[in-house]
Amino acid sequence: MRPAILHPPSSWFLRLLAIAALALPLAAPAQEKKPVPAPGALRGDADQPTDKDEAEAYAQLAILARAMQLVRQDYVDGKKVSYRELTYHALRGMLAALDPHSQFMEPEGFKEMQDDTRSRYDGLGLVVAMREGSLIVVTAIDGGPAAKGGILNGDLIVKIDGKPTDKLGLSEAVALLRGKPRDNVALTIMRPATREVKEVTLTRTEVKVETVKDARIIATEPNNGGFKIGYMRLVQFNEPSAEELGKKLDELAKQGMNAFILDLRNNPGGLLSSAVDVAGQFVAPGTMVCYTDGRAPSANRIYRTAAGSKPRLDFPMAVLINNGSASGSEIVAGALKDLNRAVLVGERTFGKGSVQSVIPLPDNSAVRLTTAKYYTPGRQVIHERGIEPNLRVVTTPEQERALALRRNAESTTEEQKKEADAVRDPQLDRALDALKGVLIFRQQFAAKKP
């Protein structure tokens, strides 16, 4: 057998890679530069690039170039070794190795991501993330196929159409979950709380996201003060969320609301600007809601409520959270907790508090790169830690199922509705008790005033 001859990569190829890596500036989204509290204090700053770093970069690029040339020259299947395919494979691996949220997006995936903040889209109504190598359901959106199919937050997706997810990256898994409307998707689900494994077949459909739901007054019994406590669920943070929330709050105020419960359970987040505006409904104008801290100065920002906002400051407030509350929900909950504006009731949140900057590439693909982390006003890091409630109340699998049935009442049977109504919501009950205690104390304090 003739030994393989390993040819060094041509000089033009090395030169091209070196120029691309060292000479072209990185594009970054334009951001307002503001100082942040103690920048770098919680993450540690890396040294600035030096001439030695540039020399090392050229040496490593030479290794990459050699490997690419060898694959193109000697790999058995010549149809799989185009420069585009090899480059895309290398980018996927490089970004996936950094953290679960950094990823390379091909042009099609980048376009889909740009559509994600609409109030409707085609899919299964699932928000997923990678945690410790497992594909976990952050939220099954109300009214979507997944929620109607009985999938709960915290469930693990073991297989998608028979393909094991433990060998997939997040972007690959999302690509399998998405697809044409009215097509079926077979999922194998494992529920950690019960170790139950089941097969679920869902049909992709248009999912319309109504961000504000179930606005109502919960009246207490006369012997418990006869209070009127407002309640509202915020499903996601989209462009109209803060405005819709404000209108509903005004309606509840006209009905005599004495206190308010904001339900952020299973809210996966959304637009940061919307989360800041929602917090602005409850705290003074110009108040810091969160800040970001990263390596680049452009990643360090303070996010404040709008100067012209008209907050509602005159009622006690509770916020319901659980491990399906992520991203924007954690920012709002963390801010209201640190600012002593609300008591948090429920379970620790998911812990997704990092900033991903999306940087387009020349061929309409993009790099989604983690560039900073979010911190609460009290300098608490959110990422991988979550927000702890003031009052910890854990729900059972039975209670979780009942809550999901109540939230998707339009797709449940009469028997299921009766079953759900017979199960208490302990987190809501605890929040009501906490607010009643505050209101009774206020009454007694006011009565003692001369």
Name the residues annotated as catalytic: 327, 338, 352
Could you please report the per-residue DSSP string of 323-384? TT--THHHHHHHHHHHTTS-EEEES------EEEEEEE-TTS-EEEEEEEEEE-TT--B-TT
Could you please report the per-residue DSSP string of 281-339? TTS-TT-EEEEEEESSGGG-EEEE--TT-----SS-EEEEE-TT--THHHHHHHHHHHT
CA 260, chain centre distance (Å) = 24
Cα angle: 75, vertex 80, 81; to 5 degrees = 65
288 — phi, psi (to 5°)? Answer: -70, 125
The CA-based diameter of the chain, rounded to the nearest angstrom, is: 104
Cβ atoms within 10 Å of 278's Cβ, excluding its own: 30
Residue 307 corresponds to which tokens in the numbers above?
Answer: 């100067």
In whole angstroms, what is the distance from residue 164 CA to residue 188 CA?
9
CA 69, chain centre distance (Å) = 40
Helices 272-279 and 241-254 cross at an angle (nearest 10°) of 20
Q: Which class for 150: exposed (0-12), middle (13-18), buried (19 or more C-beta within 10 A)?
A: middle
Please list, residue by residue across 196-220, b when 16 or more beta carbons sit within 10 angstroms of its beta carbon and e when fewer do: eeeebebebbebebebbbebeebeb
Helices 83-96 and 51-74 cross at an angle (nearest 10°) of 130
In whole angstroms, what is the distance from residue 334 CA to residue 320 CA?
12
Would you put residue 118 in left (φ > 0), alpha (ψ -120 to 50) or beta? beta
Beta-bridge mates of residue 263: 233, 320
Strands 343-346 and 391-392: parallel
Q: How far is CA 159 from CA 45, 137, 184, 201, 266, in A?
A: 40, 13, 14, 12, 22
Which DSSP symbol is given to 222? G
SS3 label, residue 235: coil
